[in-house]
């Protein structure tokens, strides 16, 4: 671990710099050009920016360095999550190219905020210091509060924005009070220093410290959409523009789990016995409630929202197990989850039109006869979400559940398996509608564009590849969690 | 002057303020009042940071407060814009009446 002088450190944050500059460039473009012709240009700039940032992030792999007096850390764990959110931003930007035109959103601001959100996620996952984690979290959240309401004139979108804003700000206050209590008992804000201090022997765990830990779980639980802090999820996911729903379901969840893992597996790891029980209960509640409520949904966006809650529950299984090597399966799960969710939302976007979003399950009736390829793609994503081999969703669940068994958490594993059996029902229901139901009325011509095809093909390829050869991806995840050793 | 107040009492006060804010945010129905309650919670956090920073004679707490105040200002700007947008579209900012999305 080397500590560098601040002025020398710009080489380490090139990805963040590239993203910031692209976002500012797009904002300037939209200020100086007429609004209606900027869509493709802004989309192109954000694709190039995210691509470059991804390239530089991969170049930095295997570095382990603290910069800016320990406020920022470049390590494999952070780089893994940075690469993941950059892939998410590339896929979401591709999805948005046609979607923002169709929904007549404000294009310049849309892409700029998308990039600022990514910037927040990148900052949040690559710091060991509470100040930087908080700043990253807020940069991300504030961008997304606005993005949720960007369907101008649509009251549902405005309402989603309002709900996400109020509950997000509420959750932030809890997270901050948790940090304040931990700071109040230790006097330290750096998570590794806290770990060193609490294990040094002259620290006695106090109720205030315990309360701080619980409040941190509440704060991160909101961002990762875990029960009982999930109330906003279905409403916000339903009301927000569909591309932003995909972005929130994958990006926000990944970044929040990244910071959550880093704090709990470093600073609070000595208190594993205290928080593991809490997370055990949250994991069971999250899986069960997510899956059971998803059974009753007739709107596909709401169904996917509850399914994303359930998937957070599966991830929390590996989290509650609390073994540092096993946490690699969390990273692998998040990677797999990203592709299957973005793919499913791509199909949802494809079926919608401006005047009719077509998110009801009956819109999918008879899709297989009219658009067999799209129905096939949707089936792949849904089967992967359900965890059917040989798709990657199965491997993700397999690693998480086998970790729980290896660590002796048999009940958690059994509840997880039962839950994934329940989940098969509502995923197969959509497939049943697509293949065995007669269409009710004409859905109209579909708004096909090559960008959607690119996203769908990449996602399917990734799911099949990671399902059949998961080993290399798991090894990358193992290298990332090495920082906890 | 400030040194004479024990930091434990400041933490208790901040806990009380935080609880008032949290209860208010849950029970009130006007979104602007809810937002004010959230700001109250943030100020309780600030007080806790200042008090503990003072107790440990460390600057970290005071610096964190500056970041929290900045973020609170940004949140207020974005939040009020969202409230205006909702009011224009639905004619109300009462949390019970803004219910197009059933949860």
pLDDT in tens, chain A (485 residues): 555 555 667 888 999 999 999 999 999 988 887 656 787 889 999 999 999 999 999 999 988 888 888 899 999 999 999 999 999 999 999 999 988 888 888 888 899 999 999 999 999 999 999 999 999 999 999 999 999 999 888 899 999 999 999 999 999 999 999 999 999 999 899 999 999 998 887 888 888 899 999 999 999 999 999 988 998 999 999 999 999 999 999 999 999 999 999 999 998 888 888 899 999 999 999 999 999 999 999 999 999 999 999 999 999 999 998 888 888 999 999 999 999 999 999 999 988 887 777 888 888 888 888 888 999 999 999 999 999 988 999 999 999 999 999 998 999 999 999 999 999 999 999 999 999 988 776 666 677 788 899 999 999 999 999 999 999 999 999 999 988 87
Residue A24: Cβ within 10 Å count: 13
Helix (H, G, I), strand (E, B) or coil at A129: strand
Please give, rounded to a whole number of angstroms, the shortest distance from the CA of A229 to a CA of chain B. 13
Question: How are the residues of chain A apportioned to helix, strand and coil, as percentages rounded to the nearest 5?
Answer: 80, 0, 20
Distance CA(B37)–CA(B24), nearest Å, equals 6
pTM of the predicted protein model = 0.94
Look at B48 and A181 and tell me if their CB atoms are within 8 Å: yes
Please give, rounded to a whole number of angstroms, the shortest distance from the CA of B1 to a CA of chain A. 21
Look at A162 and B31 and tell me if their CB atoms are within 8 Å: yes
A154 contacts in B (CB within 8 Å)?
A: 89
Domains of chain B (ranges; CATH) run 30-94 (1.10.287.3510)
Supply the Cα-derived Rg of chain B in whole angstroms.
17
Distance CA(A186)–CA(A91), nearest Å, equals 42
Residue A202: Cβ within 10 Å count: 6
- Report ipTM for this prediction: 0.94
* Cβ-nearest to A180 among B21, B34, B49: B49
Give contacts of B 35-94 with A, CB under 8 A.
Answer: 35, 38, 41-42, 44-45, 48-49, 51-53, 55-56, 58, 60-61, 63-64, 67-68, 71, 74-75, 78-79, 82-83, 85-86, 89-90
Cα dist. A355→A103, A351, A359 in Å?
Answer: 9, 12, 12
Distance CA(B52)–CA(A324), nearest Å, equals 31
Distance, CA of B79 to chain centre: 13
Distance CA(B83)–CA(A369), nearest Å, equals 45
């Amino acid at each position: 671990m080397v500590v560098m002088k601040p002025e020398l450190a710009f080489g380490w944050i090139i990805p963040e710099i590239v993203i910031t500059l692209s976002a500012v460039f797009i904002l300037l473009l939209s200020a100086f050009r007429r609004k209606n012709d900027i869509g493709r240009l802004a989309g192109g700039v954000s694709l190039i920016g995210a691509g470059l940032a991804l390239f530089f992030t991969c170049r930095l792999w295997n570095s382990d360095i603290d910069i800016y007096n320990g406020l920022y850390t470049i390590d494999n764990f952070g780089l893994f999550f940075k690469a993941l959110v950059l892939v998410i931003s590339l896929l979401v930007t591709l999805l948005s190219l046609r979607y923002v035109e169709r929904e007549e959103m404000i294009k310049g601001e849309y892409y700029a905020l998308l990039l600022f959100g990514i910037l927040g996620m990148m900052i949040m996952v690559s710091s060991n210091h509470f100040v930087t984690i908080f700043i990253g979290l807020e940069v991300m959240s504030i961008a997304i509060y606005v993005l949720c309401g960007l369907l101008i004139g649509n009251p549902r979108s405005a309402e989603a924005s309002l709900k996400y804003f109020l509950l997000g700000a509420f959750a932030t206050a809890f997270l901050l009070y948790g940090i304040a209590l931990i700071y109040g008992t230790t006097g330290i804000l750096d998570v590794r220093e806290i770990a060193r201090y609490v294990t040094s022997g002259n620290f006695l765990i106090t109720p205030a410290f315990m309360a701080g830990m619980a409040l941190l779980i509440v704060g991160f639980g909101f961002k990762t959409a875990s029960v009982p802090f999930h109330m906003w999820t279905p409403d916000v996911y339903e009301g927000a523009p569909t591309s932003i729903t995909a972005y929130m379901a994958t990006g926000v969840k990944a970044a929040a789990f990244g910071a959550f893992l880093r704090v709990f597996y470093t600073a609070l790891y000595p208190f594993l016995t205290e928080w593991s029980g809490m997370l055990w209960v949250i994991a069971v509640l999250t899986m069960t409630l997510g899956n059971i409520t998803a059974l009753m949904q007739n709107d596909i966006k709401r169904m996917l929202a509850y399914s994303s809650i359930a998937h957070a529950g599966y991830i929390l299984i590996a989290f509650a197990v609390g073994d540092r090597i096993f946490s690699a399966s969390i990273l692998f799960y998040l990677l797999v989850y990203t592709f299957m969710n973005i793919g499913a939302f791509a199909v949802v976007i494809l079926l919608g039109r401006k005047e009719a979003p077509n998110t009801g399950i009956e819109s999918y009736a008879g899709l297989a006869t009219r658009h067999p390829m799209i129905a096939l793609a949707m089936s792949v994503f849904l089967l992967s979400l359900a965890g059917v081999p040989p798709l990657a969703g199965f491997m993700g669940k397999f690693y998480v559940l086998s970790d729980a068994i290896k660590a002796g958490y048999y009940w958690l594993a059994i509840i997880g398996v039962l839950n994934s059996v329940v989940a098969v029902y509502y995923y197969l229901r959509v497939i049943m509608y697509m293949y065995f139901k007669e269409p009710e009325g004409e859905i109209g011509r579909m708004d096909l564009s090559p960008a959607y095809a690119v996203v769908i093909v990449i996602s399917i390829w990734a799911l099949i590849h990671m399902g059949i050869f998961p080993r290399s991806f798991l090894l990358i995840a193992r290298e990332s969690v090495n920082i906890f050793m | 002057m400030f040194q004479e107040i024990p930091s434990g009492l400041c933490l208790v006060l901040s806990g009380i303020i935080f609880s008032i804010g949290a209860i208010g945010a849950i029970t009130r129905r006007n979104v602007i009042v809810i937002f004010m309650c959230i700001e109250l919670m943030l100020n309780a956090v600030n007080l806790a940071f200042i008090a503990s920073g003072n107790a440990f004679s460390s600057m970290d707490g005071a610096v964190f407060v500056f970041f929290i105040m900045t973020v609170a200002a940004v949140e207020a700007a974005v939040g009020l814009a969202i409230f205006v947008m909702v009011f224009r579209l639905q004619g109300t900012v009462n949390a019970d009446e803004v219910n197009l999305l059933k949860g």
